[in-house]
Structure 1
Amino acid sequence: MTPAPVFPVSEPEISAQRAQILRHVYRDGAVLLPGVLRSADQLAAIRDALADAPGTARERFAPRTTLGPGVYSALGWAADRILCPQPEQSYVDTPPALLLIGCLAPPAEGGATLLADNRAALHALPRELVAAAQAEGWTLTRMFRDRIGLSWREAFDAATVDEMAIYCSAHDVGLEILPGSGLRTSQRRAAVRTHPVTGESCWANHLAFLNRWSLRADERKVLVSAYGVDGLPFDTFLGADEPLEPRTVATIDEVYADLSRPVRWQRGDVLVIDPALTSTGREPYSGPRELAVAFGA
């Protein structure tokens, strides 16, 4: 996969060019609109010109700041760590159809957004893994405790346990209320998705990204010692409950590392991405880096 093709257009022309822009997105997985963004609010207008409806940041695993109605900051991820490519919100019942990322201020060094083709990943991964994932899907479990990672209130935008329960019931998320103030959630999703427009099959899941073996060894050791393997903040499984081997997680990571292509930011650039076709990550960086993010349904 090459970095996203460039589609020169002015912001007022985006609505008129919608069909052509989306053709590029469906073909290439992403397209870059250079220099069209001046503010976070404007990203919402670009989203509305391209998407059928606005989307939201749901079931977050890392913090985001709200910059405006339906517009968010990039994931709060340590600047000195790589963010491995992952398909946006693959763990929700209805993932977003479009992901828009706009650059308000590029970093001094590094910080490129990494794009990786989910169609190519499907063909590059071991056949037996793909067959099992396609047949059985994958399961994500999350454990919410005070002072460990995001709270369930932040992750699910819920003010009360009752609100949390209503959301989980509506979106096929299992919910277990634990003694004290803890909650456990679980959800089983498709691991391979058929794109609704192109009909192509895509490896679209967080099977490796949110697995226990993706934690740094020292961090995993501390968490397992404190809470046990079943008490980790997040973990993933093939099917309902089959644990992944470390080698399986490493293989998925290696495939995505090989497929990753960097997009270097210039102020005002906007990436329009199809999350089913393309996973996104981020290189480490230094200096301020301001990106705005919006989702389309």
Structure 2
Amino acid sequence: MAERNLAAARLDRFKNITPKAVRLSEAHLIKRESLPGGGRLPLVIQPGAADVDLIEWATAHRAEIESELLDHGALLFRNFKLKPAADFERFAAALCPALFTDNGEHPRQNVSGKVYTPIFYPPDKKVLWHNENSFNHDWPVKIWFCCVQPAARGGETPLADSRKLYDQLAPSIRQRFSDKQVMYVRNYGRGPGLDWRTVFKTEDRAEVERQCRAARMAFEWTDGDGLRTRAVRPAVVKHPKTGQLVWFNQAQHWHIACLDAATRKALTSVFREADLPRTCYYGDGTVIEDSVMEEILALYQQLEVSFAWQERDILMLDNLLTAHARNPFAGARQLLVAMGGMLSYTAV
């Protein structure tokens, strides 16, 4: 009897204890590691404890994330509990309040216009490496991709370090592009690709011409309600925060020699060179040699880093430091895209 009374008294003491919140060490909330095989691109950031709120943590550690992004060039946030469509924009906005809302190249995904889907490209073809919007006068410094549904096979987003590309390119090629720059020539409404009404978001030709002048593009109206633009842009820029020189362009994304043989044959059998949907030259209008583009492509392939997407992954890129591509895929694949921190070539 006495023993039962003693046990009851002890139980009463425990019942009267007021629970106190225990704050986990910040160091244990988040884990950082490399992908299997090592390498610095991307840095993988994962929760170190259950129920870590990614948006809350990112808001409190924005400066730290920015520093890691400048160091690595790409951050992969993995295994966090979030609703991709609902939470993705909030996460990106926590790190960059000025998200891009005026993109005629990418279909909008939500009412706010700050989240997009990738442009359509045949799933059996590879989208070659590029720095987003570097053919335009204005482009995003930061890009986010959110995986809603990974492809059944393939569909990775390969990355390449733009600093290493600049450092490892043959000095003669690097100097030629630095001196001459790149001329991007685009024909809207001819063959694959978007028409000018979609990209410029207007039916008014005068407004299109105004936008072209503002973007420092030459333009001409062509037969069949077509539009041709020419834009000369740098191929090499200095990062505004790190001061590093980076290979920053889309020459390999536009040059016809970089297309697969079947696509190249199909286009050249239908279009004159001047009428190709997209092509590029040196900035003075001279031809970029196929052999030069082959050397550039080989270096991209050598430096490429890929990983398999997982549902709810968020990949954050510094657009100047890291180029991205897309591998062919099979099955349904859904990614969301956000961009922010717009800069122009006059700022670098």
TM-score (norm 2): 0.80
Query: What's the counterpart of residue 25 of structure 2?
Result: none
Given that 2:190 and 2:276 are in contact with CA atoms closer than 8 Å, whether structure 1 keeps it comes out as no
Query: What's the counterpart of residue 163 of structure 2?
Result: 119
Query: What's the counterpart of residue 234 of structure 1?
Result: 278
Mapped to 1, the partners of 2:303 and 2:266 lie a distance apart of 32
Greater mean alpha carbon deviation, residues 80-89 or residues 5-14: 5-14
Given candidates 94, 97, 114, the residue that maps to 2:141 is 97
User: 1:23 aligned to 2:61?
Assistant: no
Query: What's the counterpart of residue 90 of structure 2?
Result: 45
Query: What's the counterpart of residue 248 of structure 1?
Result: 292
Post-superposition shift, 1:242? 1.4
Greater mean alpha carbon deviation, residues 109-118 or residues 215-224: 215-224
Given that 1:144 and 1:184 are in contact with CA atoms closer than 8 Å, whether structure 2 keeps it comes out as yes
Given that 1:146 and 1:181 are in contact with CA atoms closer than 8 Å, whether structure 2 keeps it comes out as no
User: 1:135 aligned to 2:179?
Assistant: yes
Mapped to 1, the partners of 2:259 and 2:65 lie a distance apart of 37
User: 1:66 aligned to 2:108?
Assistant: yes
User: 1:6 aligned to 2:37?
Assistant: no
Mapped to 1, the partners of 2:249 and 2:77 lie a distance apart of 27
Mapped to 2, the partners of 1:159 and 1:257 lie a distance apart of 41
Amino acid paired to 1:237: Y
Amino acid paired to 2:43: P
Mapped to 2, the partners of 1:242 and 1:33 lie a distance apart of 43
Identity of aligned residues (%): 28
Gaps of 5+ in 1: none
Query: What's the counterpart of residue 153 of structure 1?
Result: 197
Query: What's the counterpart of residue 291 of structure 1?
Result: 335
Mapped to 2, the partners of 1:285 and 1:163 lie a distance apart of 38
Aligned ranges 1:178-217 → 2 under 5 Å: 178-217=222-261
User: Which portions of structure 1, spanning 4 or more consecutive aligned residues, are displaced by more than 4 angstroms?
Assistant: none
Mapped to 2, the partners of 1:267 and 1:163 lie a distance apart of 41
Post-superposition shift, 1:247? 1.1
Post-superposition shift, 1:206? 0.7
Post-superposition shift, 1:215? 2.8
Given that 1:57 and 1:295 are in contact with CA atoms closer than 8 Å, whether structure 2 keeps it comes out as no
Mapped to 1, the partners of 2:225 and 2:95 lie a distance apart of 42
Given that 1:58 and 1:92 are in contact with CA atoms closer than 8 Å, whether structure 2 keeps it comes out as no
Aligned ranges 1:163-174 → 2 under 5 Å: 163-174=207-218
Query: What's the counterpart of residue 323 of structure 2?
Result: 279
Structure with greater contact order relative to length (CA < 8 Å, sep ≥ 6): 1
Post-superposition shift, 1:263? 2.5
Mapped to 2, the partners of 1:230 and 1:295 lie a distance apart of 32
Change (3 A) 1:56 1:174: farther
Post-superposition shift, 1:269? 1.1
User: 1:33 aligned to 2:33?
Assistant: no
Post-superposition shift, 1:40? 2.3
Post-superposition shift, 1:56? 4.2
Mapped to 2, the partners of 1:29 and 1:20 lie a distance apart of 14
RMSD value, Cα: 1.8
Post-superposition shift, 1:133? 1.0
Gaps of 5+ in 2: 1-38, 48-53, 342-348
Deviations 1:219-249 (A, max 9, x none): 3344334331111111111122011111111
SS of the equivalent of 1:113 reads coil
TM-score (norm 1): 0.93
Mapped to 2, the partners of 1:98 and 1:233 lie a distance apart of 27
Given that 1:89 and 1:95 are in contact with CA atoms closer than 8 Å, whether structure 2 keeps it comes out as yes
Mapped to 2, the partners of 1:132 and 1:70 lie a distance apart of 37
Change (3 A) 1:199 1:59: farther
SS of the equivalent of 2:71 reads helix
Mapped to 2, the partners of 1:291 and 1:145 lie a distance apart of 26
Equivalent residue pairs, number: 294
